[in-house]
Chains A and B, each alone.
Chain A
């Protein structure tokens, strides 16, 4: 009983932080489900992909791979590259995910842009167990993504109200969590390093290939500035 109460408390604390993700994932997940359907891949395939891969942008890229010659090696390598930013999330969460027991594998498996952003910017209330908070927040976001894909596969075609621009909710989430990070003075220069490096990566390598170059630039600056940036 006590455990159940604890989970309930953690759920109450975690849920509000996931509302923007709920909105965004239902919208984008549904768009993904619809697009898969249009390319001849029914709900079973789109939901399976969302449940196993859980990687928004790569899943959209994968649609083009599913409509050309069968080449799983290319799919694997491309997935690794597009998802390379997860490496940063892992490095950043090493400390937080320590001592999480059995939940740890699940936390790592469900670590996405949104979950990383929230967990690295927001601390759970003091009376809530961290492990429960991290786990519930991660699982909620995961469920939203799979559920969004499922709904998109079923009713995507019938949505009539104009949802254009709704997916901006995730951009807004990242902007706000960026601002949350900027509240701490010592984070400001780091945030600017991220913005400038990514802008540079985008300018030099284009929208399709920006992620890895941007990560390399960030790493180089952080390593070069280790003495000054370290507090």
Chain B
């Protein structure tokens, strides 16, 4: 622990404040009593699918394609998830099988 307890506490608050501000800002800018502008309603409807795409890439951002194992475990696991999901359309089953396949791959084949 490099910082003093008081300094650490201030740092925790600073991080928490930044995090809370990012969460509350849209709700403060567009209070619920008024109808938000049409543009915002449009964004509210179109952003979720686009943001899910962003989140998938965000999760994979640390994967290096240039160095071994070249993102192959991730690719295989995502293919398994997609196949299982198209087949059974069961959220938990798809997530579970993809995760297990990934764990087995990185612990054995690509360890």
Interface contact B15-A49, CB-CB below 8 Å = yes
Q: What bracket does the count of chain A residues touching chain B fall in? A: 35 or more
Q: Which residues of chain A have C-beta atoms less than 8 A from B19's C-beta?
A: 53-55, 58, 79, 83, 86
Interface residues of B in 17-45 (CB under 8 A from A): 17-27, 30, 32, 36, 39-44
Interface contact A168-B77, CB-CB below 8 Å = yes
The answer, yes or no, to whether A7 is at the interface (CB within 8 Å) is no
The answer, yes or no, to whether A87 is at the interface (CB within 8 Å) is yes
CB-contact partner of B95 in A65, A98, A176, A187, under 8 A: A176
The answer, yes or no, to whether A140 is at the interface (CB within 8 Å) is no
Interface contact A85-B23, CB-CB below 8 Å = no
Contact A92-B81, Cβ < 8 Å, known A76-B17, A87-B25, A169-B99: no
- Nearest B residue to A78 via CB reads B18
Q: Which residues of chain A have C-beta atoms less than 8 A from B46's C-beta?
A: 190, 222, 229-230
Interface size on B, residues (CB 8 A): 69
Q: Which residues of chain B have C-beta atoms less than 8 A from A169's C-beta?
A: 95, 99
Q: Which residues of chain B have C-beta atoms less than 8 A from A182's C-beta?
A: 49
The answer, yes or no, to whether A103 is at the interface (CB within 8 Å) is no
Interface contact A95-B44, CB-CB below 8 Å = yes
Interface contact B16-A66, CB-CB below 8 Å = no
Q: Which residues of chain A have C-beta atoms less than 8 A from B60's C-beta?
A: 171
Residues of B whose CB lies within 8 Å of any CB of A are 1-3, 7-8, 10-27, 30, 32, 36, 39-44, 46-62, 73-74, 77-78, 81-82, 85-86, 91-92, 94-96, 98-99, 102-103, 105-107
Residues of A whose CB lies within 8 Å of any CB of B are 16-17, 19-20, 23, 39-41, 45, 48-49, 52-55, 58-59, 62, 65-68, 70, 72-73, 75-80, 83-95, 97-99, 104, 108-109, 111, 113, 116-117, 120-122, 162, 164-166, 168-182, 187-188, 190-199, 201-202, 207, 210-211, 214-215, 218-219, 222, 226, 229-230
Known: A90-B25, A179-B82. 13 other contacts (CB 8 A): A59-B15, A72-B11, A76-B17, A85-B54, A91-B26, A91-B47, A116-B48, A117-B55, A121-B48, A165-B102, A165-B103, A174-B52, A198-B57
